[in-house]
Amino acid sequence: SIAILLYLAQKFKTPDHWYPCDLQKRARVDEYLSWQHTNIRAKASKVFITKVLLPLLTGQPLSAEKLEVATEELNVVLKQFEEKFLQDKPFIIGSEISLADLVAVVELMQPVCAGYDLFEERPKLAEWRRRVEEAVGKQLFQEAHEGIMNIKNL
């Protein structure tokens, strides 16, 4: 959860870029972390649930209409994310990665793991993802997503 991430960042005195002491930068992290609950998280997980989990759990075929609605909703918030949060910066709060970027990329990987490559037609978003992956390390990034990447094999 967001609360535990903030607690851990402060308790273990992680490098400042994760959750900055500078109030303006911290406010940008907090702004994104508050916004993402009903936007990126809600819409990205809806695509994942509709495309992977519901058919897996119910044994029923995928509803094309529900998936189309979920994908359209996700596309709206992805545009907002690019315009309002990324803008022309390498990361959400500027030149360094933060918890906001980490939370965002985890949520956006859900639809990717479901077979919807939302980065494919969004070069700005794809470049941001590449920078996030580089910042945390490719191996760690892969390990962190290994379970969800294999969910379709169930």
What tens digit of pLDDT does each residue of 63-92 get?
899 999 999 999 999 999 999 999 999 999
pLDDT > 70: percent of the chain = 98
**For position 154, what pLDDT does the model report?**
57
**For position 148, what pLDDT does the model report?**
83
Q: How confident is the model at residue 152 (pLDDT cuts 50, 70, 90)?
A: low
Number of folded domains that form the chain:
1
Closest listed residue to residue 31, CA positions, set 109, 107, 84: 84
Kindly tell me if the per-residue pLDDT of 128 is higher than 70.
yes
Closest listed residue to residue 115, CA positions, set 153, 82, 143, 65: 153
Residues spanned by the domain of 3:
1-150
**CATH number, residue 4:** 1.20.1050.10
Number of H helices, E strands in the chain: 8, 0
